[in-house]
C-alpha cells in the first residue's frame, strides 16, 4: 500500500524539481535580452584609432548594426573567436564589431601583441575596472561565461549568444543574417 505512494511522491518530486534544473543547465544566461536598449558605456581602447583612450563605442557607432563581443579573459579560445569576428567585419563593411575583455587592464600587453601578430583590425578593448566595472551590471553580464555576444541595431539588442567558439561560430553568422535580413558569410 505504501509502495505506490512512495513511487508517486518520487515521480512528482522529479517533475517538480528535476526538470527545471535540467532546463536551467542547458540555458546559460548572460547579457541584455533581445529588445533591450544598449546603454552607453566607456571602455579603454587597447588597439585601433582610439588606442589608449576611453571610448564609448555605443555612441560612436550610433545606430549601425553592431556586434559587442564580451570575453571573460584572453587566451586561445578568445583569440580564435576574435579572428573569426575580424574576418566577419572585413567581409561585411556595414557592420561594426568591437571586442571587450572583461578581465581588465592587465590583458593589454597580450592584446596588443595578438592584434599585431594576427593583423586584427577590429578594436580590442578592456573594461577599466575588470569584473567590478559598472558595465557588468548595466549589461547584465555573467563573469563566469567565456563570452557573451550581443548584436544590436538602432541601439536595440537583436540577438544574444553565449559561449561562441570557432566550431559553433556558424550560429553567430546565422543570427547576424537573420538580424540584417541578408545572407552573411
Partner 1 sequence: MIVRTLIARSSLLIWVIAWSSLVSSAQNGGAEPNRESRYPLITSEELKRLIDSKATQDIVIVDTQPREYFADAHIPGAVNLPYTDRIKPPVNLPRTKTLVLYCPCQNEEESTEMAIQLEKLGYSKLKLLRGGIPRWRELKYPTAKISTGKNPSE
List contacts with partner 1 (CB under 8 A). 37, 39-42, 50, 53-56, 59-60, 62, 134, 137-138, 155
| Sign, CA torsion 67/115/76/74 | negative
The distance of closest approach from Cβ of residue 17 to partner 1 in the complex, given in angstroms and rounded to an integer, is 35
Q: Give 143 or 171: the residue with its C-beta nearer to partner 1.
A: 143
Q: How far is the CB of 164 from partner 1 (least distance, A)?
A: 26
* H or E segment and range at residue 4: helix 2-13
Q: By C-beta, is 42 or 175 nearer to partner 1?
A: 42
Nearer to partner 1 among residue 45 and residue 85 (C-beta): 45
Give the single-character DSSP code of 16.
Answer: I
| Cα 63–chain centre separation | 18
Q: Pick between residue 13 and residue 40 the one whose CB is nearest to partner 1.
A: 40
Pick 4 or 49: Cβ nearer partner 1: 49
**Min separation Cβ 62 and partner 1, Å:** 6
Q: What nine digits make up the cell of 127?
A: 573594461
DSSP codes joined into one string, 53-119: SEE-HHHHTTTS-EEEEEESS-SHHHHHHHHHHHHHHHH-TT-EEEEEETT-GGGHHHHHHHHHHTT
Query: Min. distance of Cβ 78 from partner 1 in angstroms?
Result: 26
Least distance to partner 1, CB of residue 136, Å: 10
Amino acid at each position: 500500500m505504501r509502495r505506490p505512494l512512495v513511487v508517486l511522491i518520487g515521480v512528482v518530486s522529479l517533475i517538480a524539481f528535476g526538470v527545471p534544473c535540467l532546463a536551467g543547465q542547458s540555458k546559460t544566461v548572460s547579457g541584455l535580452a533581445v529588445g533591450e536598449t544598449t546603454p552607453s558605456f566607456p571602455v579603454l581602447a587597447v588597439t585601433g584609432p582610439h588606442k589608449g583612450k576611453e571610448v564609448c563605442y555605443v555612441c560612436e557607432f550610433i545606430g549601425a548594426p553592431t556586434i559587442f563581443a564580451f570575453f571573460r579573459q584572453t587566451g586561445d579560445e578568445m583569440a580564435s573567436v576574435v579572428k573569426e569576428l575580424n574576418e566577419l567585419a572585413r567581409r561585411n563593411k556595414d557592420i561594426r564589431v568591437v571586442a571587450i575583455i572583461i578581465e581588465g587592464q592587465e590583458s593589454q600587453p597580450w592584446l596588443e601583441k595578438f592584434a599585431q601578430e594576427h593583423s586584427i583590425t577590429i578594436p580590442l578593448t578592456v573594461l577599466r575596472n575588470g569584473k567590478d566595472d559598472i558595465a557588468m551590471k548595466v549589461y547584465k553580464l555573467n563573469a563566469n561565461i567565456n563570452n557573451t555576444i550581443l548584436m544590436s541595431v538602432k541601439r536595440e539588442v537583436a540577438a544574444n549568444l553565449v559561449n561562441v567558439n570557432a566550431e559553433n561560430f556558424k550560429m553567430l553568422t546565422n543570427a547576424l543574417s537573420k538580424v540584417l535580413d541578408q545572407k552573411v558569410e
